[in-house]
Structures are given as C-alpha cells and as structure tokens.
Chain A
Amino acid sequence: MIPLLEAIGITKQFPGTLALDNVQLELLPGEIHAVVGENGAGKSTLMKILAGVSTADSGEIRFEGHPVLATSPREALLLGIAIVHQELSLVPTLTVAENIFPGRLPTNRFGMVRYGELFREAGKVLQKLNVAVDPHAAVEMLSIATQQLIEITKALSLNCKVLILDEPTSALTDHEADMLLAFLRRLASDGVGILYISHKLNEIFATADRVTVLRDGKYVGTEKISDITPDEVIRMMVGRELGNMYPPKSERQGVPLLEVKNLRLPDSQASNNFTLYEGEILGFAGLIGSGRSELARAIFGAEPKAEGEILFNGQAVTIDSPKKAIELGLGYLPEDRKAAGLFLDMSVKLNMAATVIDKVSSGPMVSPRKERILAEQYVQRLDISTAGIEQEIRRLSGGNQQKALVAKWLAIQPKILIVDEPTRGIDVGAKKAIHFLLRALAESGVGVIMISSELPEVLGMSDRILVMHENAIVAEYHWENATEEKIIRSASGN
C-alpha cells in the first residue's frame, strides 16, 4: 500500500534550538496514527510543517507517493491535508452551517449569501459524517465536544484525506472523548488517514493503529499498538523508566478541616454536604458541567452560592471573596491555566508573588529582596525549569507554568488547596512531579481537593472520591472500593 502521507528526514532549526532533527513519519490510508512525546519533543512543529503552517529547513514530504511542498495552510488544504488545532477556530455567535463553510458561502450574483442552500449543504455534510447537529444552531450553544466535531466537519467538508488533530480531547470528559474517538474510527474506516497528537495513552491504546514517538526533536520509533505496552511507550518518550505515576496513598487519619453543609449552587435544587479531612486528597470526579468547578469556586468565594454553610476548623465562616478565602488559608488553582491562572506577560517572579503581595512587602513598599527570595525558593523546590525568575512566564512549558501556579498557592502556606484539573495538557514528567507534590502537601497536613476529568488520575491520587452529577454530589467511594466503572456509572446519573 502506498502511504497516504510520508515525511522523510524533516529538520527544522529555530535559533538556539533544533526543533526537529531528521524526523520521519508515515501515514497509511484508513489509519489512526498517534504521535506522542513530551512537551518540547517537536510534535506540534512536525504537524505544523505537514499542514503547511510552517516549512521545514530540509527533508521531503510525499503525498500519495508524490513529493509536495505546501507553503501555506491553504495549499495543504487543497492537497487534502487539514489540521484541527488545540484551540478551536469557530466563530461562537454564528451558526453551525456558517462555521462549516467560512469563506466559501454559496452566494447569488449580488454577492448575497443563499442561506437556503447553505443550510441544505451543511445538513448534507453533517449527515454524511453522522454528526447529529442542527446546522441552524449557534455554535456557542453547543458543548465543547460538539464544537470539536463541527471543527472536524469543517475540515472534512473539503474532502480531506489527511486529518491532523492536536490534542482533540484535552477539554473533553471521558464520555465525550469516547464519542469523538468513535467518530474518528468511523472516519478512518472510510479511508481517511488521521494523525493524532495526544498525551493520553489510554486513549491512544484504545483508538490508534500505530504510534510514533518523538523525543527532543528526534525520531525514536514507530510501533504497532498491538505490539507494545503503555509502559514501553512512556519509556520511549522519556528515555528512562518513569516509575509509578502516582505516589502511595496516605495512612493518616486527620481531623475535619472543612465541612460544607447544605451548599446549594444557583439554579440548582441539590444541596451538597461533604467533609475534607486534614492530610487527605479528596478527589472530585464527574462530567464537565457537572458542577465540580462551580462548587469549588463557590467555596472559594469566587462565585455566588445560593445557600449553605461552611465550617473551617469547626468554626462557621463566611467566604464572600477570594481575598477572604486566602486570608483563611484556602488556595484555588483554576482549571483554565491561561485565562484564569497566569499573568502571561509577567515574570515568573511576579506570578508567584501575586497572592502574597503583602508578604513580600516591607511597610507599603514591595521589597525586591523578599520577592526574589520567594521566587528563587519555589523555583528550586518545585524544580521549575526557567531561564530565571525574571523570565516571562509565557516562555515556560505548560508543566513548568503549572508548577509556578502551584508555587503561587504554596506561598500563602495554605491549609486547604483546591486544584482544578491540575495536570491538564502537561507532559508526563511534570504530571508526575505535580502528583508527588500534592501528596507531599497532604502529608504535611494540608487538605487537598482535586478535581479531575481523568479517571486514572482521580483513582491514582485520591484517598476518597466524590462523584458529581448535575450540581449534586451523588456518590462517595473510598479509594480501595473505587473503580472506573463505578465512577462512570455514578457520574452519568445511574
């Protein structure tokens, strides 16, 4: 069989960095081909070159056996190569149909859009791909998972033969991800070749036919999924044994630290009760939109709650703003790192000092010395790789950014730390580091609440697991009795 797409000896040099060094890749028709590697391994750079977003310094790309040179995404599209980026490129206020055909809307001779035809055409495309969405619906009304399907539909409406997906499931719940993956398998069975970048090995092993591993810009190897184990893939990615991803569970029995009583979220009838004990990691599982983040933010004073009582160390407290929460010793690491966590244009140092402006001040003035000591201490303690504390935080990898955000909360010396999707979109090494860090924190007596949509993580990290469904806590499991099946069942309301 002639490969659909073939990359041979691709090299890309950025000043100071060899992003890709003689990398190869082969995609067969009807194949789902996973590309894995840690952050900085060069996956995205390779995909961008294949999709015409950037060009290689040397090497050859063959499409159906013929050498091609796509110098713009448009040229790549005309060849039949489409890329769906991590960030969706849909216009939220427009309809599904308008989003599927941007820039090529059917028009009459006065240049006016023929909406009848547009919706009919869009309906046909959606039906052909088996996507059950009304083409008249506004995109902003759809779930992220459905938006992702629209984005893919848009790419495939051009009869693409190669579809490149950059971490398509990072914002999806397991259930939604399963839907998407089933959709991809259907596409592949129609002969589309799919290149699939992901950090999630369980997905890759459930979906892909082959996997290519990159490390530090170099090609490590390509293996059939049926011939390899996840541990072997991890070993290829990191070039060493990573050991267990999850630290051992705690054995300590703590006293109640935080008691939440009859807490009801706005627009919801359910009242929630739970207790967080000193030194434990309490996992929150559930589908996206099940109210986990809203509950956490209500406790933290960042969002209103309809009613409810919070006891901290046995004392009733009113937390009506994050400021109040922080004064009590509560920290909250939000799920959306870029939108709600980072001050992207600011230095690592200033990001870390954001929660403790008063602590790094002497009198009314900020003390540069205290600020420096604080930042250097955490850079060292959390092993953050950065050119220095004055480095802009946007230049750090996702994993290191996340560590810096954790540092910002460690700086308040929290008694309770709520982490919302603490390892989303970061590489395995950093993920493991954050896992061990959270456990070490719990061992020191801090109560940790961890919200995660990754079931292995919830199971691997938590001492107890609460499952939410439609703004209500519907189940509680001790870690020894918890299984993925039980959690999925509770999370879907059964």
Chain B
Amino acid sequence: MVSTTPVSDLPEKNVSRSSAWGVFARMMRVREFTLIVMIVMIGIALHLITGRFFTTPNLSAISLGFATSAIMVFGMTAALVSGGFDLSVGSVFAMGGVTAAIALRAGLPIPISILCGVGAGFVAGLISGLLITKAAINPFITTLGMLGIARGVSLAITEGAPLARLPEEFFIFGQGKTIDIPNLIIIALVTILIGDILMRRSSAFRQIYYVGGNEEAARLSGINVDRVKIGVYVLSGMLAALAGVLSVSRFTVADPGTAVGEELRIIAACIIGGCSLRGGRGTVIGGLLGLIFVGFINNGMILLRVPVYWQQLSMGVVLLLAVGFDTLSQRWQVRSKGHPNS
C-alpha cells in the first residue's frame, strides 16, 4: 500500500530535540504534576515562614475544611467532562442535609435518613438531567434553575430555621475518628479515589469523555448520549447531597442557608485542576489538587494574618492564572509545532 508521510505530521522531529528541558516541559503540561509541585512549594514556604504549617492539627483542620467539597469535586468533574456543569451543588448540598435532618427528627433509622438525604440529590440531578437532554435546555439555565429550586425547597420546609437536636449516633460520620484519622476525611478520600479510578478506567465513565469530546461523534459511535448526561447530573446531585448530609453530621445542625456559592468554588477548583469548560478533559484527582491548592493559599493567608476578605481575591487570581497559563501554553505549543497545511 502506498503511504504518504507529510513532514508536518511527524512530531518525532520535535521530540528528537528533546532534552532534560523537553522532558520537564512535557511533564509540566500534565496539570496534576504542576499542581503537586506548586502545592509542595507553597507548603514548604508556609512552613518556613510560620513554623506551624506541617503540623497534625493544622493539616487536619485544612483537610476537614475541604472534605465535603472534595466529595462534590467528583460529580462536578464528571459534569464538566461531559461538556456541561452543575450550578446547583451548593443548594442541593443544603437540601440533602435538611432532608436527612427531617428524616432523623421524624425518628427514621440513621441509614434510612442518610438515604433520604442522598435521594433528594438523586431527584434534583434526575430532573436536571432530563431537562438538559430531553427538553434540550442548556446546562447553565437548567442548573441555575435547580440552584433556586433546591435552595427554595430547603428554606421552605425548614421555614428558614436551622434544624438541630439530632441523634448523637449520627455525628459519628462527621466527628468520629478511625485510628486517629477523622472519618470524614476517610470518606472523602475513598470517594475521590473511587471517582478517579472510575473516571480513568471504567468503560461506563469513559463514555463521558467521548460525549464531552464530540457529542455528535459519540452518538454516531453508538454511545447513548442522553443516558450518559442524565447519569452525570444524577451523580453530581447525589454526591452533593451526600456531602450535605455529612456536613450536618459534622456540625450537628442542618442549615438551609449553608454552602451558598459553593458551586463556583468547586467549578473553579476543577478548572484549576485541568477540566475544560468545553468538555472532554479533566480528572478527579486534578480537581482535588485544585481544591488543595486554593485551600493551602487560603490557609497560608490565615496563618500570615491576612484579613479574611482577601481570600476570595486569591481564588480569583489563581483561577485566572491557571486558565491563562494553560491557554497561552497551548497556543505556544501549536505555534511551535507549526502546521503548514492544516
């Protein structure tokens, strides 16, 4: 068979120039690697400045701080990879917690109550998913609507008042420890690990990347696009509600006004971690690292006694830097590869 080999399509020519710098440059292109390097550097810097960063109480406090967020990162990564996003996670978080609290106060057993909370998230996600696929309403509008609905439901059924006086045994998830490690951190880590493995390796979750990469091509390749998308929003809703339930277990009250704006924090973390708003790209671990990265910077600011008002600013700056760096490096890469005839 005759083959033609356009010179421009043989990137080995570029790789052949590779040196230590080339290897480094390529590793830097893997977002997780960059983030780990930066996280470690920030940690060391903070430890050197304050002398109390790498201490068990501080690290444990930071981890507890974003354990529930980490659970939501899995669902949000899936939504982003599919080419959408879920703006309702903060509200569903509150609704999940409130629902579980009501079930507990009604005297239902703890496992059933947790299921009720998670079930509320399932319903919210299913409705979003159905609207996005069957009614073809775009994810922004759909989940923005769900953000209002879930928050409204939480406020309405509680009449705006936090629910307290929950059974003591329920607090074991949020406050208990197993061999000195808080249960909440264990649950978050296990969720993240399972999520990462599923997203990387499972054939069911692999379909999310195809859908986000090119929806039409995915459909023509025999992937049931609607089912994948509905699944993604159901997953995101359930995880957000689960996180909400765990948060109630930790703080002992279900506050219908909690986690306002959490969705943007999670989306930002995922994007810092390498997700793209265009879909098809991103890992769960990346999202977790994004969360840790921002968490470290905020913690550093607290340790350095920077007024709390500046924390929002740091989030914004980090987000823009991460995305800006990515866009520029891609453009640079394309330019240097040079596609004479593409």
Contacts and interface: CB of A to CB of B under 8 A. Distances in A.
A427 B9 CA distance: 13
Given A339-B216, A364-B204, A322 B11 contact: no
Nearest to A332: B220
Nearest to B221: A354
B201 interface: yes
Contacts, number: 167
B96 to A, nearest CB: 27
A359 B5 CA distance: 31
Given A345-B281, A429-B2, A17 B214 contact: no
Nearest to A405: B217
B6 interface: yes
A188 B339 CA distance: 31
B308 interface: no
B220 A322 contact: yes
Interface residues of B, number: 45
A320 B2 CA distance: 39
A361 interface: yes
Interface residues of A, number: 67
Contacts of B331: none
Contact of A395 (B210, B224, B336, B337): B337
Interface in A110-142: none
B340 A42 contact: yes
B174 to A, nearest CB: 31
Interface string A319-348: 001110111000010100001111111100
**Most chain-B Cβ atoms within 10 A of its Cβ — which of A14, A391, A400?**
A14
A391 B220 contact: no
Contacts of A408: 221
Interface string A412-437: 00000000000000011110110010
A322 B219 contact: yes
Contacts of B16: 16
A43 interface: yes
B159 interface: no
Contacts of B340: 12, 14, 17, 19-20, 40, 42, 44-45, 217
A340 B14 contact: no
B280 A345 contact: yes
Contact of B220 (A334, A344, A346): A334
Interface stretch (A89-97, A157-165, A379-387): A379-387
B9 A397 contact: yes
Contacts of B339: 14, 395
Contacts of B12: 387
Given A323-B223, A365-B201, A45 B5 contact: no
B336 to A, nearest CB: 5
A322 B2 contact: no
Interface in A36-71: 38-45
Interface of A: 12, 14-20, 38-45, 216-217, 238, 242-243, 300, 302, 321-323, 325-327, 332, 334, 339-346, 350, 354-355, 357-358, 360-361, 364-366, 383, 385-387, 391, 395-397, 399-400, 408, 427-430, 432-433, 436
6 contacts: A17-B13, A45-B341, A326-B221, A340-B220, A344-B213, A428-B4
9 closest Cβ pairs, A-B complex: A40-B6, A14-B338, A429-B4, A16-B13, A19-B340, A343-B213, A326-B222, A45-B340, A361-B203
Interface of B: 1-17, 201-204, 206-207, 209-210, 213-214, 216-224, 280-281, 336-342
Given A16-B11, A326-B222, A340-B217, 12 more contacts: A14-B336, A16-B16, A327-B222, A339-B214, A341-B217, A344-B214, A391-B11, A397-B8, A397-B9, A399-B4, A429-B4, A432-B2
